[in-house]
Amino acid sequence: MQMYKKEIVYDPKTHDFAMYLDGELVGFARTYQEAEQTLDELVYELLHGHYFQDAA
């Protein structure tokens, strides 16, 4: 099973939380909890092969 490194960084200027997956910025969230949930959902999709499936 592939492991992903998740990181959430607060930006005091914008008051947003930047979401990183394996060192790459994947988006922003309004709250830490929202960022955590979004990253968890993204990793779930990546692990189960559903993410990007429609883009191919």
pLDDT, tens digit, 9 for 90 and up, residues 2-26: 689 999 999 999 999 999 999 999 9
User: What letters, b where the CB count within 10 A reaches 16 and e where it falls short, cover 12-27?
Assistant: eeeebbbbbbeeeeee
Residue 50 confidence (pLDDT) above 50: yes
> The pTM is what?
0.79
Q: Scanning the structure block, which residue is given the tokens 């499936």? A: 53
| Cβ atoms of residues 41 and 50 within 8 Å | no
pLDDT range class, residue 56, cuts 50, 70, 90:
very low
